[in-house]
A and B are shown apart, each in its own frame.
Chain A
Amino acid sequence: MIHPLLVSASAPPPIDSPTIQYGDLSPLLVVAAVALLGVMVEAFAPRALRFTIQTALAIGGIVVALAATVWVGLGLDRASGDVLARGRVVAEGAVAVDGPSVFMWGLVLLFALVSMLLFAERRLEGGLSAFTGQAAAPPGSAMEREAVEHRIEHTEVFPLAMFALVGMMLFPAANDLLTMFVALEVLSLPLYLLCGLARRRRLLSQESAMKYFLLGAFSSAFFAYGIALVYGFAGGFGLGDIDQAVSNRIDGQNLLLAGIALMAVGVMFKVGAVPFHAWTPDVYQGAPTAVTAFMAAGTKVAAFGAMLRLFFVAFGGASWDWRPMFWVVAILTMVVGAVAAVTQSDVKRMLAYSSIAHAGFILVGVTGAFVGTRDASVTSVSSVLFYLTVYGFSTIGAFAIVTIVRDASGETTQLSRWAGLGRESPLVAGAFALFMLAFAGIPLTSGFIGKWAVFSAAWSGGAWPLVVVAVLASVVAASFYVRVIVTMFFTEPTGEGPSVAVPSMATTAVIVVAVVVTVLLGVVPGPVLDLAQSAGAFVR
């Protein structure tokens, strides 16, 4: 008897021409095209013009992609099924273009837009960008000095950021595990590189890039292994196939559960959940601040989006198996993030731990796994989407302010050196205080509504003890946000106080936008919350 596989190998089955819905994927394609064009600009444009061309190209591309996203979003059809979902699966099942995908595309595009403005800031370093002139030159070498003298700049940061952006858009929209893995790598690799390109404190920056790369590769390996195990269980990569296999399962439990756990490690590393958070403070501190802002806001959106899709669509049928693990991780993340932030003396590290704590708060919403009832109210998906929105803007605003508080050696990130900032520059300190209050979840700032949304979704999903822990953790967190405000306004500066450099329009615009969004989403969150709600559920 001949093995069936051998038979089929002798007569290859016809390969159908794949159908790709270019229209639905246009936002992704635009950004990818801009990234590739950026590479060409690097190759052919004269050095003097590159910075201008790259900036214009990146910003223009993002604006076009945003327009395309709106166009795609308006054209989404109601999907069949009992829960409200809009959109469809395209590209032979590889990408799901649905409400949440489109919302997150819009979100990361907006974050990228403001981050590009920070990338483009050249006034703070005397006409040069915040990125090193020649990454290949050893720190402190003659080669480096030469690069500064010739005013050489690495304009590759723009195409790199665009590539990362493609990954960020694809990761939460990926509808099969292979696409998801590819997106994860596309998102990560350019970021590793960007982290190592700081102009000042280059050794710290390179160290952070190295750490991020090694640990990221390590966690990717977990993710890939998880994919293999899940494939072994389900016999397919598509999230829909896995969902069916999970719902109809009788045996092969352990294979599935181990796969779930390992894939969870991969995404939890990306969101910076405890105990996979160790890279966060080092990388946030070492990376150029503009990159940190981009990374903190964008990666969180992408990774949480992918996490939601993975666990709600593919593993939704096994939620009783994975929810306890999420409970543990969420509690650990909130507690460690909030507690560890208390003793931080560096603003960027403090913001890093704060981002860990916020990842914990978002995990609370995810853990609730509340899909909503007919008449109510915030679901886990919509609340997480909203939280990501408010968190992202406040974070970018906060890091933008970090870039302009400076002394002779560059950014002053020592918290103690921020004493008296309130007197030196009340507006800047006031804006930073506003972001701190938003992080602490004080009403009339966006952070309050965000917290309220994820907590109530979790409560409706039956995770009320988790909500109690979350509220307590946010009290601890509030104490160190207040400490920053006390330092800025109520502490006498020691020695020469901090100084606030006057940035160009770009950075100013970023701070203003972040302030406006933070206040606006606190006072009238309705429209955005409604938008997140109407994004509906994931399509299958």
Chain B
Amino acid sequence: MGADYLWSYASVAVVGLLGVALAAGMMGLNRFLRPSRPTREKLLTYESGVDPVGTGWAQSNVRYFVYAYLYVIFAVDAVFLFPWATVFAQIGWAAAVEMAVFLGFIALGLVYAWRKGVLTWT
């Protein structure tokens, strides 16, 4: 522990620094070599070729967030399922039941979301 322990992070720091230096160097080089003749069109925000409208701040539909939440819940759920799968056989039925309880909680949330009509987009 102590000083030695922290020193072992030095290589991480060096890699990090190298990474930043590399990116900064390339961007900087680019900046030096390219001509710079800005016009209004060039400075506009790129929106797939369509003229941008409104300001940069815009509201997006709250439903996107709900979908994002639901996705994140299931992603996290998977993180637990993989290690569980490797030891499930050793532990036996208790593991199966407890994982079922865990999945049950998440399913409950999904059922609630479904009944509240979150999953239909109208």
Give chain A's interface residues, CB within 8 Å of chain B.
12, 14-15, 17, 36, 39-40, 42-44, 251-252
Q: Are A17 and B91 in contact, with the CB atoms below 8 A?
A: yes
Cβ of B102 under 8 Å from chain A: no
For the complex, what is the distance from the CA of A357 to the CA of B42, rounded to whole Å?
Answer: 60
Q: Are A43 and B112 in contact (CB under 8 A)?
A: yes
**Given contacts A17-B94, A36-B108, A251-B2, are A43 and B116 in contact (CB under 8 A)?**
yes
Assembled-state Cα–Cα distance A269/B112 (Å): 33
Residues of A within 8 A of B87 (CB): 12, 14-15
Contacts of A42 in B (CB 8 A): 112, 115-116
Closest residue to A15 on the B side, CB-wise? B87
User: Which single residue of chain B is at the shortest CB-CB distance from A251?
Assistant: B2
A20: nearest chain-B partner, CB-CB: B98
Q: CA–CA, A14 to B95, complex, Å?
A: 14
Roughly how many angstroms separate A252 CA and B112 CA in the complex, as a whole number?
48
Residues of A within 8 A of B74 (CB): none
For residue B60, CB closer than 8 A to chain A, the reply is: no
Q: Judging by beta carbons under 8 Å apart, are A14 and B90 in contact?
A: yes
B105 within 8 A of A: yes
Q: How far is the CA of A194 from the CA of B35 in the complex (A)?
A: 57
Residues in chain B near residue A14, CB distance under 8 A: 87, 90
A17 to B109, Cβ gap below 8 A? no
23 A-B pairs (CB sep. < 8 Å) = A12-B86, A12-B87, A14-B87, A14-B90, A15-B87, A15-B90, A15-B91, A17-B91, A17-B92, A36-B105, A36-B108, A39-B108, A39-B109, A39-B112, A40-B112, A42-B115, A42-B116, A43-B111, A43-B112, A43-B115, A251-B1, A251-B2, A252-B2
Q: 5 shortest A-B CB distances, which residue pairs? A: A43-B115, A17-B91, A15-B87, A43-B112, A39-B112
Contact residues in B for A40 (Cβ distance below 8 Å): 108, 111-112
Bitwise, B30-62 to A at CB < 8 A (1) or not (0) is: 000000000000000000000000000000000
How distant is B47 from chain A, measured CB to nearest CB, in Å? 29
CA distance A450 to B24 in the complex (A): 63
**Binary CB contact string for chain B from 90 to 120 against chain A (1 if under 8 A, 0 otherwise):** 1110110000000001001101101110000
Closest to B83 in A: A15
A52 vs chain B, min Cβ distance (A): 19
Q: Closest A-chain residue to B88, C-beta based?
A: A15
Chain B interface, >50% SS class: helix
CA–CA, A505 to B116, complex, Å? 32
Complex-state Cα separation, A227 to B111, whole angstroms: 35
> Given contacts A17-B91, A39-B108, A43-B116, could you give 13 more A-B pairs where the C-beta distance is less than 8 Å?
A14-B90, A15-B90, A17-B92, A36-B108, A39-B109, A40-B111, A42-B116, A43-B111, A43-B112, A43-B114, A44-B115, A251-B1, A252-B2
A237 to chain B, nearest CB (A): 17
- B92: A residues at CB distance < 8 A: 17
- Bound-state CA distance A251–B6 (Å) is 14
Q: Give, as a whole number of angstroms, the nearest-CB distance from A37 to chain B.
A: 9
What is the CA–CA distance of A251 and B1 in the complex, to the nearest angstrom? 9
**CB-based nearest B residue for A14:** B90
CA distance A12 to B90 in the complex (A): 12
Taken together as a complex, chains A and B put the C-alpha atoms of A44 and B108 apart, in Å, by 12
Query: Closest approach, in angstroms, between the C-beta of B11 and any C-beta of chain A?
Result: 13
Bound Cα distance from A75 to B44, whole angstroms: 72
On chain B, the residues within 8 Å of A15 by CB distance are 87, 90-91
Chain B residue contacts of A252, Cβ below 8 A? 1-2
In the assembly, what is the distance between CA of A17 and CA of B94, in Å? 8
Q: Mark B7-36, 1 if CB is under 8 A from A, else 0.
A: 000000000000000000000000000000
Which residues on A sit within 8 Å (CB–CB) of B90? 14-15
Nearest-CB distance from B78 to chain A (Å)?
18
Q: Nearest A residue to B109 by beta-carbon distance?
A: A39
